[in-house]
Amino acid sequence: MSIVSDRHSSDVYELVKDHIANLSQTPKFTPEQQQAYKDKIKALLVEHNAVLVAHYYTDPVVQALAEETGGCVSDSLEMARFGRDHDADTLIVAGVKFMGETAKILTPEKRVLMPTLEATCSLDLGCPADEFAEFCDQHPDRTVVVYANTSAAVKARADWVVTSSIALDVVDYLDSRGEKIIWAPDKHLGGYVAEQTGADIILWDSACIVHEEFKAKGIEDLKALYPDAAVLVHPESPKSVVALADVVGSTSQLINAAKTLPNKQCIVATDQGIFYKMQQMAPDKELYIAPTAGSGATCRSCANCPWMAMNELESLSKVFERDDNEIFVDPELGKQAMKPLQRMLDFAKVAG
Ligand code: SF4
């Protein structure tokens, strides 16, 4: 395994810091205001035959609203699948932009709206389509595997799209066929997959600004306080953090681990938005967020994605009023991006 792209995480961090500096702060609402927003959004969903699909990392109030209105709370792939199979005309995607794009690629006939299209992802930002295409062109003998956290244009250049829940299985399969791989964009997840499978992988150099903040030392200190706690880690985290894990897995896999492990306490290294669903599924467990770097962190707050946080009630209540928040994907590009996505969906069906 080697990192050969010439794009460095530090370049992306500068981009990300600029972007975050320009974000407006999320307003705080009284319970009455919050209820008024929720009532308005509920009425709008009915009026427009729309459904709200929310990611595990969004604000708990948004996740609860998705559940109360018959929508779903899940990972990015399940969000897209749910939207595709639901009979609503319009999908309201509370997440980040690539999730809206994936929903549109899977369901081009539906209208896909987001609270704001400014909600992006450092992995998506860190993998511009033109630079990535150039990188792939330099290695024509390699199968191109990209993570779901990429733009439609990057997906269109790929042979396979994977989520963190299926990455190991897909790469293992490709390796068994003797295929050499390009992996993008997350170097930590890619490094983990390379180590676990032994596949010949070259990595694009990008990272998640939230997961990269987790520090092994902080987790060790917390573990000293709660020695019986299980450590649950998302593989977008650095290798030193993954090394401390009792369970490494996707958001859904970590939720399942919290539910099924015998440990009464869990230290969790992923965005703390996941605690809403994790606590719901494992009500008897004590959950602790893994420590982050603290000062100097690029996140607005520790272990909390600044872009996921943009999905708040006020912007959701205006989702039908704006004219700059609909997801469009060029139909030809969408068809191209659908091929590696469909390959993953078909693989998932066979793999069970
Ligand atoms: S948590 Fe990380 S991977 Fe997820 S959307 Fe935010 S920046 Fe991207």
State whether the beta carbon of 305 lies less than 6 angstroms from ligand 1. yes
Residues 267-310: tens digit of each pLDDT: 999 999 999 999 999 999 999 999 886 555 555 447 999 999 99
Whole-angstrom Cα distance, residue 271 to residue 255? 12
Q: In this structure, what DSSP letter does residue 299 have? A: S
Whole-number pLDDT of residue 19: 46
Does residue 301 fall inside a structural domain?
A: no
- Lowest-pLDDT range of 25-29, 264-268, 332-336: 25-29
Whole-number pLDDT of residue 77: 81
Whole-number pLDDT of residue 6: 44
Does residue 296 fall inside a structural domain?
A: no
Comparing CA positions, the residue from 153, 143, 303, 276 lying closest to residue 213 is 303
Q: Are residues 24 and 74 in the same domain?
A: yes
Whole-number pLDDT of residue 3: 53
Whole-number pLDDT of residue 293: 65
Whole-number pLDDT of residue 349: 86
Q: Are residues 199 and 274 in the same domain?
A: no
Stretch 235-245: mean pLDDT, rounded?
98
Does residue 146 fall inside a structural domain?
A: yes
β-pairing verdict for 72-74 and 50-55: parallel
Stretch 47-71: mean pLDDT, rounded?
98
Q: Are residues 203 and 248 in the same domain?
A: no
State whether the beta carbon of 189 lies less than 6 angstroms from ligand 1. no
Does residue 61 fall inside a structural domain?
A: yes
Whole-angstrom Cα distance, residue 236 to residue 248? 10
Whole-angstrom Cα distance, residue 190 to residue 313? 35
Give CA 64 to chain center in angstroms: 19
For the cut 70, the answer to whether the pLDDT of residue 13 exceeds it is no
Q: Which atom of ligand 1 is nearest to the CA of 95?
A: 5
Comparing CA positions, the residue from 169, 156, 101, 143 lying closest to residue 352 is 169
For the chain, give the mean pLDDT: 91
Stretch 65-82: mean pLDDT, rounded?
94
Q: Are residues 179 and 32 in the same domain?
A: no
Return the amino acid letter for 199: A
Residues 130-143: tens digit of each pLDDT: 999 999 999 999 99
- Give the pLDDT band (50/70/90) at residue 124: very high
Q: Which atom of ligand 1 is nearest to the CA of 57?
A: 1
Q: Are residues 134 and 42 in the same domain?
A: no
Residue 254: give the domain boundaries: 211-289
Q: Are residues 181 and 136 in the same domain?
A: yes
Does residue 140 fall inside a structural domain?
A: yes
Q: Are residues 204 and 215 in the same domain?
A: no
Q: Are residues 248 and 203 in the same domain?
A: no
Q: Are residues 326 and 337 in the same domain?
A: no
Q: How far is ligand 1, taken at its centre, from the CA of residue 242, in Å?
A: 17
State whether the beta carbon of 5 lies less than 6 angstroms from ligand 1. no
Does residue 294 fall inside a structural domain?
A: no
Q: Are residues 32 and 113 in the same domain?
A: yes
- Give the pLDDT band (50/70/90) at residue 193: very high
Check which CATH number belongs to the domain holding 278 and give it.
Answer: 3.40.50.10800
For the cut 50, the answer to whether the pLDDT of residue 7 exceeds it is no
Number of structural domains the chain divides into: 3
Q: Are residues 215 and 182 in the same domain?
A: no
Q: How far is ligand 1, taken at its centre, from the CA of residue 47, in Å?
A: 32
The DSSP secondary structure of 149-216, one letter per residue, reads: SS-HHHHHT-SEEE-TTTHHHHHHHHHHTT--EEEESBHHHHHHHHHHH---EEE--B--TTGGGB-H
